[in-house]
Structure 1
Amino acid sequence: MHETKSTCCYCGTGCGVLIEHDGSRIAGVRGDPAHPANFGRLCSKGATLHLTAGRQGRLLHPELRTSREAERRRLGWDAALDHAARRFASIIQAHGPDAVAFYVSGQLLTEDYYVFNKLARALVGTNNIDSNSRLCMSSAVAAYTQTLGADAPPCSYEDLGLADCLLVAGSNTAWAHPVLFRRIEDARRANPDMKLIVVDPRRTDTAASADLHLAILPGTDVTLYGALLHVLLWEDLIDRDFIRAHTEGFDGVRDAVRELTPAAAASVCGVPAEDIVTAARWFGSAKAALSLWCQGLNQSTHGTANGAALIHLHLATGQIGRAGCGPFSLTGQPNAMGGRETGSMATLLPGHRSPANPAHREELARYWNVPSLPEAPGRTAVELFEALRTGRIKAVWIACT
């Protein structure tokens, strides 16, 4: 038997796995003890990865059907690739490059993401490339960009073991990121004084393990974080030197939460005012405060505001840019962040650049050795599939989703 290193393709933790195989058949998997995400641990999903690799129920060859009513027929690889290339080329020739699109996924490797992006923009000439990460992470992207200037989470898993206060919001980490939750448990055992605050309308397993569970009413996140900031200001738990040196617009934020007292927020959020005060004091007095959030904040009509309001707590207290602290958004897929970094979304270019910025397009065109990159805005995921429905997009290449 041989072992090959790989990465679990399920949740956003990105656990390292060792695949046991004989060169043609996968016999099993185990956690990679040397991997910095999981150090050998696997959850039940990761431990059964090998069961998804059996031949039963899997496509082993390309299949083609010429109409929706037709049966699929087996095709050779060369014939399949030639057919796909001809159909894309004919549509582009007849209707222009924006008549085709690429819909990719957080399951892709970073290198694959990059190649798809280059194919769409440099060869085909369209910004119609978007990821299913749009449906879960775009609000976090916008929150980071609005508050920090770039979509670049300033934290790592190592910070879990260095934090004195951990705020988990909109995430049942115990179920959604099980191995990461084991690291939280390790950190609490190593530091019994560490405070765990969970913000979630439901009493999940994660919430049940918290020192303080703020079971707010759905949709009241911004009010809660505004009240926490109010307490931090009122009790002078902010970092004035950090605010002065590294932030802008603080006076406006302060004015916005001036009347948002714990009592006022309690009537909106449905949690006791004294619990809001306790959470603010724990967060503001911690040597290092770290926050984790996931889809409970992101997938909302005001998801960007949720994320920005949480990040404001870190900026007001200087709980950012140091070991053990910072705002840390968890992804639902193992490489949603890789897609954002490679620019594989309609509103992004590689390296956190923007297709709306002429200088960014020119810089990347030089790097890719093409005359120019497309200027017309690309369609985001929902827009893309609406354009498919109406016939404005004639063909879509879907990868790993």
Structure 2
Amino acid sequence: MPLLFAASLYIMYLAESDGVTLPFHDEYGHIVLVLDGQPISLLADSGSARFFVVYGEWFERQYGRGSCRRHNMTCYFCPVEAPCDDIEHRERFGVRYAEGQDVYQYVQHSGVLDLGQSAIQITFGLLVNYTTKIGFAPHSTLGLSFGRADIPMTFLQQLKDANIVDILSYSVRYSQVSQHATGTLVVGGSATEAQGTAHLPLKLIPGARRGIHVSIVSMTIAHAGASPAGGDSGRPTPISLDGSLALFDTGTCCIAVPYLVIAALVRYVRERIGADPRVETVLFRKDSLSSYMVRSHHVRFLPVIVYSLVGEGGKIVDVKIFPEHYVGWCNVIWCEVHIYAHSNGGEIVVGEPFFRAYDAHIDLENNTTAMTAHPLRPSWEKTLQVAKQPRRIKICDI
């Protein structure tokens, strides 16, 4: 069982801290869970409460015999001890992602979750149907948001009920060695208090599903000359968003902002480039569900994006996302910018770029989040030519 042995390296059970540490095993924010002896890669998604994996027999019917072997750690097959003979007759649950472009249907199943030093019985979904308008294969999801009565019990709640963790909380800690998402997801435990840690209350949207939302006052396009931890950013007039909420979503590679913010960013870059008749567009994208592209030699002109959020006691907390956090893959000509624009009324989403810039702890029981800024990496632009392929875009709904 060499594959299972390798998968065990992805999981560390920390009994002394009443938590489970799950390393990200790739640059896309995936962790590995071992279910009935099978290592499965799941997207760690704070923008969703769903917990499901791809059912192997369905996947091979859709993508061809042997496709599960070609897509390592994608498929789950029901063992003899927990057969799926009645899977077509089980109740189905549905969820939509990518603004309704991806539709998932799954049924409930029970199995054994191996946590290294212990194992528990756990219930999870099996994906039995999937449609997409954007052409991507389905992925397994580990939802980290608030549970609710109309969906199956969350992963976090099941760990608490099994006395693996004592509180519904988790920390996201990305490494600064790479421009991609490496680091760990720590389930359970409390926030690490460090110098500069800010605490913010989570807010409930009246009449809406609960999510990891924080009140936002404004956004600003500012000069990228200060560290995220503080200092003078030389910022111009803020763009007022008073009364809005920002969703903290590890499941999307982008930050979603109003078009007003994109317009301010374009003006900022144009001013820094200067009068150059050869520059027709600063940013472009292929379609409304794509992130933006920028010329690689213009990356040095990109600004810091500042979110002014409401912290404890009404104190304003400035969250600063620098170009090194939101610039993705590059080639000789173009770089992908992990920013997604929506029209008025769309949700403001603080996605993976935020988690590259800050360690974050989410406490679902006390409705708080704590964040601590990472130091900026020196000479980060020199790493931009490493990635050869664009990131898969995931703009996820709750």
Fold similarity call, TM over 0.5: no
For the superposition of Structure 1 and Structure 2, which TM-score range results when normalised by the shorter chain? Answer: under 0.3
Whose radius of gyration is greater, 1 or 2?
1
More helix, by proportion: 1
User: Which has a greater percent of strand?
Assistant: 2
TM-score, structure 2 normalization: 0.24
**TM-score (normalised: structure 1):** 0.24
